[in-house]
Amino acid sequence: MRIVVGVGGGIAAYKACSLVRKFTETGHHVRVIPTESALQFVGKATFEALSGNPVQTGVFADVPEVPHVRIGQEADLVVIAPATADLMARAASGRADDLLTATLLTARCPVLFAPAMHTEMWEHPATIANVATLRAHGSTVMEPASGRLTGADTGPGRLPEPEEIFALASLLLERSDALPRDLEGRRVVVSAGGTREPLDPVRFLGNRSSGKQGYAMARVAAQRGAQVTLIAGNTIGLEPPAAVEVVHVTTAEQMGTAVDKHSVGADAVIMAAAVADFRPANVAAAKIKKGAHEPNSIELTKNRDILAGLVQARRDGQLGGLAIVGFAAETGDEHGDVLTHARAKLARKGCDLLVVNAVGEGKAFEVDNNDGWLLGADGTEQSLDHGSKALLASRVLDALGPLLR
């Protein structure tokens, strides 16, 4: 695919280098177009070396090639990172006073802006209006991350991490349309990762869930406008998604407490976490020693089913019209295939949607891609095509939207 990476003039311009690299490493043809001020932060040679293509900022180089029209027309995706307040203002008002803004006017492909600026600039009515205009024009403008900005201040306005911009960019290539803002004003709770049930201060019973699918759910929901709380169990060192509140937990019991607390007043709960069904009945206060005798068996006790508890609380009228999404990782066995087990699980659990993944043999766990089926309580069944975990998340949210009260 032909990707244009536009770079605005902000300190976060250095992060565009990793983004360019990710695109070239995954086989894309990348053309970097910085603004003049971006070159104050990162040199032209860096972008040329990383992209393998010439870099220019103005419209008067290579004139016979008409680059100010051609690059935009031929692009499959334009990603602006960092998108500064000034660059978004120019893009929103249709200026074409450099190669990047001219490219934005001629591009008909998906366009993704990854904003980076100080919180005051992000929250200024002028920027809010420009972001709304860009979205109305069909562009996807990411929510920035919160955290440390240049200097000592913190707040929303930080450039989302390159991995996150890459994930969203890949999603736009897969979907080939803008990300809808259909979850604005909605509160969504997502659980992710595996729980750990301690045996003693050093050992635990755990599972292979990486948290990647749940993180993708949280990320895409936030980028569709939802206010998202992510209840994260053990994950493989994932970066917290931009504009998402993360609550870290360890055990199933802690996860249950956190989910219960945050579901009050929420519009949807998405249980992507791999919650342990059992925990050791006794947790040793000191490390269990090997000793000289045969190993003891571990006595287990059942954990409560968080998802089933939510469904019950809704039935009892405590959670209003909360929409509830479950996940099922199935292998199939002598009693039935993956879908047979999944249909039974949907009926047993009583949730509104069940996302079903076939697991085992390198599928679903720890990898970046996923596929499966989406079963609805109304009997609908949809296959989820193979693609990034963000794409799967996006399809689930497409189905969730109409279920929200």
Which residues of the chain form contacts with ligand CTP (CB under 6 A)?
A: 252, 271, 273, 275, 277, 303, 305-307, 326-329
Nearer to ligand CTP, 164 or 352 (CB): 352
Query: What is the Cα–Cα distance from 320 to 264, expressed in whole angstroms?
Result: 9
DSSP string, 221-245: HHHTT-EEEEEE-B-SSPPPPTTEE
Question: Count of CB atoms within 10 A of residue 246's CB?
Answer: 16
Is 302 annotated among the ligand-binding residues?
A: no
Contact predicate 245/219, CB 8 Å: no
135 or 314, CB closer to ligand CTP? 314
Examine the residue annotation and report whether 53 is marked as an active-site residue of this protein: no
Q: What is the end-to-end Cα distance of the chain in Å, rounded?
A: 39
From the candidates 53, 130, 207, 296, give the one annotated as an active-site residue: 207
Residue 215 and residue 191: Cα distance in Å, rounded? 8
What is the residue type of 141? V
Report the residue number, 159 or 273, with the smaller CB distance to ligand CTP: 273
Q: How far is the CB of 343 from ligand CTP (least distance, A)?
A: 13
- In whole angstroms, how close is the CB of 182 to ligand CTP at the nearest point? 23
Give the nearer residue to ligand CTP in terms of CB position, either 109 or 270: 270
Inter-residue contact 237 to 252 (CB < 8 Å): no
Q: What is the dihedral of CA 21, 25, 29, 32, to 10 degrees?
A: 0
By the 10 Å C-beta count (0-12 exposed, 13-18 middle, 19+ buried), 361 is classed as exposed
C-beta separation of 348 from 311 below 8 A: no
260 is in an annotated binding site: no
What number of other Cβ atoms are within 10 A of residue 76's Cβ?
16
> Which pair of tokens denotes residue 23?
């695109």
Closest separation in Å from C-beta 308 to ligand CTP: 7
SS3 402: helix
The nearer residue to ligand CTP, 30 or 273, going by C-beta atoms, is 273
277 labelled ligand-binding? yes
Minimum separation from the CB atom of position 260 to ligand CTP (A): 11
Least distance between ligand CTP and beta carbon 256 (Å): 7
> For residues 390 and 168, is the Cβ–Cβ distance under 8 A?
yes
DSSP 147-210: EE-STT-EEEEEPPPHHHHHHHHHHHHHH-SPPP-TTTT-EEEEEESB--EESSSS-EE-----
Nearest CB to ligand CTP, comparing residues 172 and 192: 192
Q: How far is the CB of 223 from ligand CTP (least distance, A)?
A: 22
Please enumerate, by residue number, every residue annotated as part of a binding site for CTP: 277, 287, 327, 345, 349
Please enumerate, by residue number, every residue annotated as part of a binding site: 277, 287, 327, 345, 349
Residues annotated as catalytic are: 207
